[in-house]
Amino acid sequence: MSLKRAEPSYEFGGPVGAFFVSFGLPVLVYASTFLCNDLSGCPVPSLLSPSTTTIDRLKQEVGWPSNGFKGLASWDVSGKVLCYYLLNAVLHCLMPGEEVEGVKLACGGKHKYKLNTWSSTIFILTLLAAGTAYQGASFPVWTFIYDNYLHILTANVIISYALATFVYIRSFGVKPGNSEFREIAVGGRTGNMLYDWFIGRELNPRVSLPLLGEIDIKLWCELRPGLLGWMLLDFAFVVHQYKAYGFITDSIVLLTAFQVLYILDAWWMESSVLTTMDITTDGFGFMLSFGDLVWVPFVYSLQARYLAVYPVSLGILSSSGVLGVVAVGYYIFRSANNEKNRFRTNPKDPRVQGLKYLTTKAGSKLLITGWWGIARHINYFGDWIMAWAYCLPTGIAGYIIRPVTLQNVTELVNSESSFFFHKSATQIVEVTQGPAKGYGMFFTYFYLLYFTVLLIHREIRDEEKCERKYGDDWERYREIVCYRIIPGVY
């Protein structure tokens, strides 16, 4: 009698959800780009009075390309973006780095990883810092990024689709018992082509580049082009604010500093990524490809893009409050993760040897004191607190942009809520909140909403995984550690 084949286990709403995520999220990113811009406002005026708007007026306000969809892309910009990817790949392969082993795979083997993200990205940043020191705000890299934002976005969208398709097709070459330890991810075995392409079939796809060597595609995308791209976008927006207004506000400085700290922390703690679900469990498909290369850099930098156009001054009191928020969040996030990593790698470390734990039938040890005795996913709580600090510097967001005459500039220059800059050699524009005040928060606080949903979804996935793995022991653990993410609340 043959065994009944297990039914596919779907997430994200199965194939239907995969379709809407795969083709809906790019539309959402483009919508945020067009509907919150430096041409007419954030949101564009038509959204404030939708009953009176027209398609032609909306196209003008959002800056829709005159040649339609063709104008979303540029061969020249796409080529430069590919050079950026190539530079990251070359530095990864040629620069020295520590070689470590990943977690044990289902086949019994372990992948080896070359860790040099910190040194290679710092090398790139050093070159950019030198160029900026020499040429100031006119350094071409920052101008290129800001002026070609839309085309850079499109290039990354295309790359994410192409990469997801490449690894999907290549995954059919995975053979049982292969010497390279190639495996098909559990979630990518449903047999539904669209869903498996989206969620990722192969667990850890790798590719060997001529003259360079092997690259683990998933880890490389997780830490290299997307995170560095996020940082470079932030820097370009800071430079634009300075070029437009002649000053840099505390809000954009704080926001950029917070995000740079987060990115540098990820690079410095590169080895800790090897134990995350993204690396150990999820296949590499469109979900991670688009998330790493498009969603992270272009959605996470949206607040900096807003502040580049409408400079918010926080003052000492508000700045201190925002600093306090990020300090608390980062302390919880990093302390909890460090505690877990120390306990896993060296339980005799004096900093963790006194912690109590629950030993499961599988032999695993689940912490029930310390940070992980407060909530089962306490690190997510710290992450969520930091997300607030990314949005709060934008304040009660929203602005409109309108051309003004030189006479009007003289009359309005002393207004605290209005800012003026030369859009061109012959045009001066005013940036003011006016009727848009508050409506821009749909854009600048979207990250917080998205991140909340993301963390809850991750927590649910983690819970399901642990319940399958530990069975009754997980029930005992949940009775001891009652809260999921937020102590006393959730």
Tell me the per-residue pLDDT of 436-467, one tens digit each, with 9 for 90 and over: 999 999 999 999 999 999 999 889 988 888 88
What is the pLDDT, as a whole number, of residue 178?
Answer: 85
Sign of the Cα torsion 429, 430, 436, 438 reads: positive
Sorted by where each begins, the domain ranges of the chain are: 68-313
Percent of the chain topping pLDDT 70: 95
Torsion angle defined by CA atoms of residues 267, 272, 273 and 277, in that order, rounded to the nearest 10 degrees: -160
Residue scoring higher pLDDT (2 or 474): 474
Confidence of residue 6 (pLDDT cuts 50, 70, 90): very low
Res. 3: pLDDT tops 50: no
Question: pLDDT digit string (tens) for 169-216?
Answer: 999 998 888 888 889 998 899 999 999 999 999 999 999 988 888 999
Chain-centre distance for alpha carbon 363: 35
What is the pLDDT, as a whole number, of residue 354?
Answer: 87
DSSP string, 363-378: S-EEE-SGGGGT-TTH
What is the pLDDT, as a whole number, of residue 2?
Answer: 36
**At 132, is the secondary structure helix, strand, or coil?**
helix
Mean pLDDT for the chain? 91
What is the pLDDT, as a whole number, of residue 406?
Answer: 62
Closest CA relative to residue 377, chosen from 481, 273, 467:
481
Average pLDDT over residues 398-424: 70
Res. 51: pLDDT tops 90: no
Q: Look up residue 189 and give its two tokens.
A: 């075995």
Question: pLDDT digit string (tens) for 353-369?
Answer: 889 889 988 888 889 89
Confidence of residue 1 (pLDDT cuts 50, 70, 90): very low
What is the pLDDT, as a whole number, of residue 209?
Answer: 86
What is the pLDDT, as a whole number, of residue 407?
Answer: 60
- The pTM of this model reads 0.90
Cα separation, 143 vs 239, in Å, equals 8
Average pLDDT over residues 266-285: 89
Question: pLDDT digit string (tens) for 113-132?
Answer: 999 999 999 999 999 999 99
199 in Cβ contact with 282 (< 8 Å) = yes
Q: Look up residue 381 and give its two tokens.
A: 């709580």
What is the pLDDT, as a whole number, of residue 414?
Answer: 40
AA identity, residue 275: T
Average pLDDT over residues 143-161: 98
Cα separation, 93 vs 269, in Å, equals 19
Confidence of residue 311 (pLDDT cuts 50, 70, 90): very high
Res. 137: pLDDT tops 70: yes
Average pLDDT over residues 13-33: 95
Percent of the chain topping pLDDT 90: 69
Question: pLDDT digit string (tens) for 73-92?
Answer: 999 999 999 999 999 999 99
Residue scoring higher pLDDT (109 or 445): 445
Average pLDDT over residues 379-386: 93
